[in-house]
Structure 1
Amino acid sequence: MPHQATFALSTTPRPTRWSPRRSASATRTAALGRPEESAAAYEAAVAKLPGGAQPQRFQLGRGWVDLALDAPEAARSRLEAAVPTGYRMGSTRISLWAQGWLARTQFALGAWPDAVETVQRAAVRLAESRIELVRPLVHWTGAQIHALRGDWETAEHHVNQAAADLHHYEVMVVPACLARAHVAEARGDYARVLEALSPVVQLPTRQSVDEPGFWPWPDVYANALVMTGRLEEADAFLTPHEELAARRGRRSTMALLGYARGRLTAARGDIDTAREAFEQALVHLEHLPLPYDRARVNFAYGQTLRRAGKRREADAALHNARDAYLTLGARTYVERCDRELQASGLRAGRPGPGPSRLTPQEQAVARLVASGATNKQTALELYISVKTVQYHLTHIYSKLGVRSRSELAACFREPSPTERPGPTALEP
């Protein structure tokens, strides 16, 4: 099968003045780097439609373009209009595409319960219709939201349902890979993020895959390169994507690439330039209704500042991220923010069970190790080196009088009510 395909190319013609061929041409124009031209084509077509009618096919294509052009609220309205099939000879195929992109739009806007409901409805219709081409797109959003909520079993179910490989169409391969990558990222497994996105990197046709605003994978891949220490590769990868996003003026893409650039610059020891990258990323998002993207930038910014010893500044960024994640229901990252805040020693929030004699950084390391994390996983989670983890563990073992990870885990285990007659020597 050819890789170069868009959802509009695989729909069945309907007797309407808005022809399928024109719809396909308009959406293809957008994906090939001319979304404003595509939007103009849609608007010109509307003027010629009888009675202001806007066929289902039009609503889908224009909604997808609106999402890419950083207009998610307009996209949501159009995509919602493209979902019903009961009137005007609506197509189930187009409805499913609309639901797939509507779920992505709802996710971007922070309406996660709505997005989950959209995915559930679409999944039922997919099972009935067996329209395979749409399957990865629909389940991608389900995988990401449930991973961010910490519901790993449901997230993995959606990953399995989204599965595709290089023998499938590009429009199936990219969301299938993103589903796997987002779950791996939520777990803090950046090596698996790179593995999950490797088929996207290998796709022979690049223009529609790399076009800013359509498939949000470059920032995820770049961030994983930085987090696994592959700094030169990250730099080489980021530069052309940053230049293209700037030429297109895609603010959300520039923001997300900017936070990856901030991480990279900080990893090279230039905290001032890193700060500028993060601040500029937040400026790009300032007037966009994208709460998850803003939380993502703030979290990376806070981690970076904390590692650089800028604790008070880190505290502000991390609390901004935590508030947004809490509102969204992203429990996985709320817990990460709590660990970062505790490690900073400033306004750490409600203390959990654990030895009070440890420093905030030692407590953060101890809790992760006690939960079963390896030294490498702990280092990635806290954005410190493995040697620093080992250094802290030496002091932790000494202070607590333990000799193994299992004994450390016992120190941090939450006792049942029957086991808690009163405070113990290890409680704060």
Structure 2
Amino acid sequence: MTSMTVQYAIIWYLTEQIKSATMLSFATLLGMLPMVVLSPFVGPYVDRLNKKGLLIVPDLIAALFAIILSVTGVVTGTFPFWLIYVSLFVRAVTQTFQTPTILSILPTIAPREELTKVNGQLGMVQSANKIIAPGIGAFLFALMPLHLLLLLDVLGAFLGLVLLLFVKIPKTATHSGNTLALEDTKQGIRDLRSKKGLWITVLIGAVSSIFIMPAASMYPLMTIGYFEGTVSNAGFVQIIYSIGMLVGGTIIGVFGNWKDRMKPLILAYLVIGITLVASGLLPANNTGLIWFIIFSAFTGTDAPFFDTLLMAMIQQTFPIDQLGRIMGVVMALLSLLASAGLIFAGPIADRIGVEKLFIIAGWGIILCAIINWLIAPAKNYDKQLQEKGVMERYN
């Protein structure tokens, strides 16, 4: 929660200072690059190294850079953009280690048949944090100087470290260390490609991220720039979006044992695409802003479905001691194309308008949904996976 509060505060600071889609997308791009560059190599080490350490050390590093940025603000009276970008980059590096670690820990704790629900419940917790963080961030951003707000990250890292000291994580099979991490990564790609339907679903998801991530990064600019709202309005939009994510995570967490998870996944694509197109067609006035908030709730509700359901399928497809390298490959693919979209999204939005970028993104996502439905191996993969799992448990 504290990390998200600080993250929103930094983004709103940039939005207020520069009001440029190009610079905002560049800031988001810096947050994606570590996923692209490091994920294929991080994944194998998640399988090899102490998972508790992989959760604690990145938090401490992020807290250190928060302190550096805060002290710079006190000493110089300003926050250099280059240092903000470096801080965002470092925070993204820490997340590159933490995300696959958490996803690889879940199957060691949760029963196989409950993984969809457990991933949904994890999404609920994350969404609850996202509901609280924008509100706190907007309130504190108006109440106190940014250099003090940044220190929340330090508090959060300390509390997280203390809590993790009491957590026992089950050990999995250890690697001999004779195989290079790069070879593990190549094997991860081969393993993923061997599951044709899953591989196609991941590739379509990667293509959809070209459209989803640029639109997601432009929410503050859409609120403040297009609708001429305030930071408080931007915070409220983020809160509504996150409430939607909480609702979506709750639906998955409670009703997640679907016999065919591909249907709700594709439906979520369609809803996100339609709401983004509708958002881009709204008038730039208060009425438009109200409808934008409503559409954001629906977009948020469907946002958790792809990641949550895809990760559950992956966790049920591969052995636990291979999940790190598989997750690393998947995250790298998704982040690579998302980064490509961000490179072009900023200049395009500055040239044609951020609202038109929403329209383009929406139609792109709708097209991805249609393609996913038309390709039989992808459409039928989860149904076959679960039928196989039932047979294995029966035998």
TM over 0.5: no
Q: TM-score when scaled to structure 1?
A: 0.26
Higher Rg: 1
Q: Answer 1 or 2: which has greater helix percent.
A: 2
Q: Determine which structure has greater relative contact order: mean sequence separation of CA pairs < 8 Å that are 6+ residues apart, divided by chain length.
A: 2
Q: TM-score when scaled to structure 2?
A: 0.28
